Chain A
Amino acid sequence: MMKEKIRTILHEVKDPEIPVLSIEDLGIVRDFFIDDTNTVTVVITPTYSGCPAMDTIEADIIKALEEAGFKAKVKTVLDPPWTTDWMSEEGKRRLEEYGIAAPVKGSADKRTLFGKSPDVRCPHCRSMDTQLVSQFGSTACKALYKCIDCLEPFDYFKCI
């Protein structure tokens, strides 16, 4: 019961940079537990090591839990390192609706020098005929693509 309640609260905490995704959708929340003093400890892991949203996320978690009457603490762990494989299917769907192409599975880290680029679907017209413009985008987690069919540029949530 308590666990379900906390889960619901955490589901309402959004990524400050991509507000359609909850931190649960992103796979940032690794675990949480309640101790004897009724303090909830939420274990989170950063997406990117320099992600400036992590401090905001931590503050938002504590605020949401405190508003629901809990005492709250956040603990950050690094290992195992975050991967886009932990993003929920529901999260991927909402990401695409929001105009950001979802990470393509299997195009992960080892493709350095120079594995194949992932086949990324245009979130506007769903064409697969898309092209990488820049490996880096407006935030640490995104790359910039353009669609050859509808000519729109779009963000791609890069796969790591």
Chain B
Amino acid sequence: MEAKEKYVLRLADNALILGQRLGEWCGHGPILEQDIALTNVALDLIGQSRMLYQYAAELKNDGSTEDDIAMKRDVFDFYNVLMVEQENGDWGKTIVRQFFYDTYNYFLYEALCTSTDQRLGEIARKSFKEIAYHAQFSAEWVIRFGDGTSESHERVQAAVDDLWEFTGEMFTPDEIDLAMTEAGIAPDLNQIAAQWKRKVTQILDIATLKMPESSFMQKGGKVGEHSEYLGFILAELQFMQRAYPGMQW
């Protein structure tokens, strides 16, 4: 597989899997407004994943459609980061996962807006406005919880500590990332890491939360080595196409 195709699939898989995770909250949110908020974010992410899968299908150029790519691959052929497949947990954990990811996504897509790859640039410019809105939403909730009651503070600090080990993978470049940076298609992940760290430090500080000190980081999602969660996510996501291949609404 060509490096660019794989890179586009990583972006697409991140958006689809996180969108699917957030969709699990539909009908279960703590209050109606927040239920609606998460499903709105999910809708944006799934819309973004469609633009990216359409592009991946064109790059693949073997007659596959966006649906084939999303619905017919198994766990080891998904390249999303481990962060997005982590369990929803309580609402605080969902928000922290979103905050860590949105902040990364914000700086990543801001840079992708000026990609040398024309199509990726178009998709990024469309997506960035939505991502900026998500990033504001999740950061505000981190502050509200962190600087809220002692229970909300404790729960959200626990989520920060839990999810910390999944942040490193987003910024650790492998040969695909390096090739994309070299070609001017994607930004240097070290630069994104620095921007991310500055923003996350600032928000955690306002939220009276502590930044974890541990430097142990999980990795594997980007090359198809996933936690056990992804299989369950795909089982639900892909059920209809697996049970009734080629079915249409």
Contact = CB atoms under 8 A, between A and B. Distances in A.
Contacts of B34: 134
User: Number of contact residues on A: which range applies?
Assistant: 20 to 34
Contact of B47 (A51, A82, A160): A51
Interface in A43-74: 46, 48-52
A114 B137 CA distance: 10
B135 interface: yes
Contact of A136 (B37, B47, B122, B125): B37
A78 B37 contact: no
A47 to B, nearest CB: 10
Interface in B119-159: 121-123, 125-130, 132-133, 135-137, 139-140
A16 B139 CA distance: 33
Nearest to B102: A112
Contacts of A160: 129-130, 133
B196 to A, nearest CB: 13
Given A81-B129, A112-B133, A160-B133, A49 B36 contact: no
User: Number of contact residues on B: which range applies?
Assistant: 20 to 34
Interface stretch (A19-27, A91-99, A121-129, A137-145): A137-145
A50 B51 CA distance: 9
Contacts, number: 84
A76 B43 CA distance: 19
Contacts of A135: 37, 133, 136-137
Given A113-B199, A134-B33, A136-B36, A49 B127 contact: yes
Contacts of A134: 33-34, 36-37
B33 A50 contact: no
Nearest to A49: B47
A82 B127 CA distance: 11
B188 interface: no
A50 B133 contact: no
B180 interface: no
Nearest to B38: A136
B126 A79 contact: yes
A110 B126 contact: no
B132 A78 contact: no
A105 interface: no
Nearest to B118: A79
Top 8 A-B pairs ranked by shortest CB distance? A50-B47, A49-B47, A134-B33, A50-B43, A79-B122, A136-B37, A136-B40, A81-B126
13 contacts: A48-B130, A49-B48, A49-B127, A78-B126, A79-B125, A82-B126, A109-B128, A110-B132, A112-B135, A113-B135, A136-B33, A140-B40, A160-B129
Given A46-B47, A49-B51, A50-B45, 8 more contacts: A49-B48, A52-B43, A78-B126, A82-B126, A110-B132, A134-B36, A144-B33, A160-B130
